[in-house]
Amino acid sequence: MLKLVKLEKKYIPHLNEMMDEWTNANEKIIPWAIIRCDYHNIDQYIKNLEIKEAYNNCVPDLTFFCLDTDRNIFVGAVNIRLYLNDKLLINGGHIGDGIRPSERGKGYGTQMISLALEECDKLGIKEVLMCCNKENIASARTIIKNGGILENEVKDDGEIVQRYWIKR
């Protein structure tokens, strides 16, 4: 069973295992919020995991880790932006999500997004924008399975980004 949890010190081994796997795979770690700071400095990491007040192009957000309670491991993470600025409206959206390399292709992304949408409901976000690069077919599939409707495709930093809206 999957559930979203806030990072607490009891989850440090879970975090280290997931982040070390991602780092060793030489892959881009998503969502960006979980690499905002060095996870090895846990006090600083926890303190800076969420943005409390808007600055530059960043808006207040919440970060959750997806815990597989049966195996007691983190399978991924989601970051929920509380509102959108101009930059996030083009590319980023309300939810950023990622599944660690060894856990992909098992349906966890779809379940994790569903749980993130429940958190959006609690926050009063009834129209959720999710974005993914056009070539990321697995991500697009998880968004569509959660009710995402493709609005359009935009070019951002040389990449084609698909923008999906999920109405709750």
Q: Identify the CATH number of the domain in which residue 102 sits.
A: 3.40.630.30
Query: Using one digit for the tens of pLDDT, what is the confidence trace for 78-87?
Result: 999 999 999 9
Classify residue 80: in a domain, yes or no. Answer: yes
Classify residue 16: in a domain, yes or no. Answer: yes
Question: Could you report the average pLDDT of every consecutive run of 10 residues in the chain (168 residues)?
Answer: 97 98 95 94 94 93 98 98 96 97 97 98 97 96 98 95 96
Q: Which pLDDT belongs to residue 42? A: 94
Classify residue 130: in a domain, yes or no. Answer: no
| Residue among 72, 47, 52 at smallest CA distance from 62 | 52
Classify residue 140: in a domain, yes or no. Answer: no
Q: How many domains does the chain have?
A: 1
Classify residue 119: in a domain, yes or no. Answer: yes
Strands 61-68 and 127-133 come out as unpaired
Is the pTM value of this prediction over 0.85? yes
Classify residue 121: in a domain, yes or no. Answer: yes
Query: Using one digit for the tens of pLDDT, what is the confidence trace for 113-139?
Result: 999 999 999 999 999 999 999 999 999
Structural domain range at position 47: 2-125
